[in-house]
Structure 1
């Protein structure tokens, strides 16, 4: 697994833990850096993640969550609230939305594909398609490089 891919997977796990336990981001980041990243995990595999990318995603989501959540909620079907979305999916969407807004050095298609693949690591049903649809819709409003369009600015409309 590529180091940035592993960082995204670990970041989603950390964001889930922060959300589930109402934990502080700094404490969860320290736990992951000291006890998970670079360590042997399930099935004898080492989680060789890009530590800086992991830290950037988790701290970035924590710092910008008040802006990220309304953008994501605006990308959901009418009548849906982000709090209704399963916690792991919320973590995936938040991480993807953060990268779409803050990591202009990473192409849009790469971000969307990476988080669809992360969703496949956790789900075998329609959830990866859900992630693709939400991040694709959000990217259409945020990124000029997405399908040749121009960013509309702000949150997507319903």
Structure 2
């Protein structure tokens, strides 16, 4: 497996984590139920439209686990990065899931903050190809990353 393959698997896992967090919120399914559905039916699955991307299961699981278990902390960090009139519960549920997955990755600290920001901006572009959401995501995540790990930006 090449370095490019590993990076693509990580990128797919980030996208799947956002989708899984969205699904948990929208359906009231448990983390374990959704996690298993994604691993069994999305990672590398054959679909009529083609094959779904394979993912890094360990990264996917760590992102959703951290997002669920640190949700209050991540939501507070997100709220601080948003303007006062737009608390996290008022933003689009897809963006809320994205901020939770990205916040989890920033809190875990295993990925350089600039890389994590870039990856989640790409996820935002995938969900909102025509909108300005990617710029919004970039600004919010930059604020969050600087609050979590200011020395990475020195």
**Does the TM-score normalized on the shorter chain lie above 0.5?**
yes
Counterpart residue number, 2:146 = 140
Note closer, same or farther for the CA distance 1:98–1:127 as it changes in structure 2 (3 Å cut).
Answer: same
Residue by residue over 1:101-158, the C-alpha shift from the partner in whole angstroms, topping out at 9 and shown as x without a partner, is 11x221111000000000000002010111100000111111134321xxxxxxxxxx
The correspondence for 2:26, drawn from 17, 20, 31, is 20
Asked whether the 8 Å contact 1:41–1:47 carries over to 2, the reply is no
Classify 1:20/1:101 alpha carbon distance in 2 versus 1 (closer, same or farther; 3 Å).
same
- Where do 5+ consecutive residues of structure 1 fail to align? 149-158
Kindly indicate whether residue 133 of structure 2 is the aligned counterpart of residue 127 of structure 1.
yes
Unaligned runs of 5+ in 2: none
| Residue 67 of structure 2: aligned partner | 61
Deviation at 1:42, TM superposition (A): 6.1
SS, match of residue 85 in structure 2: coil
Q: State how many pairs are aligned.
A: 147
Provide the alpha-carbon RMSD of the alignment. Answer: 1.3
TM-superposed CA distance for 1:6, in Å, is: 0.3
Matches within 5 A, 1:56-135: 56-102=62-108, 104-123=109-128, 124-135=130-141
Distance 1:42 1:99 in 2: 32
After superposition, what is the alpha-carbon deviation per residue over 1:64-107, rounded to whole angstroms, capped at 9, x for unaligned?
Answer: 102111111111002211111100011111111111111x2211
Q: Give the alignment partner of residue 45 of structure 1, picking from 46, 51, 63.
A: 51
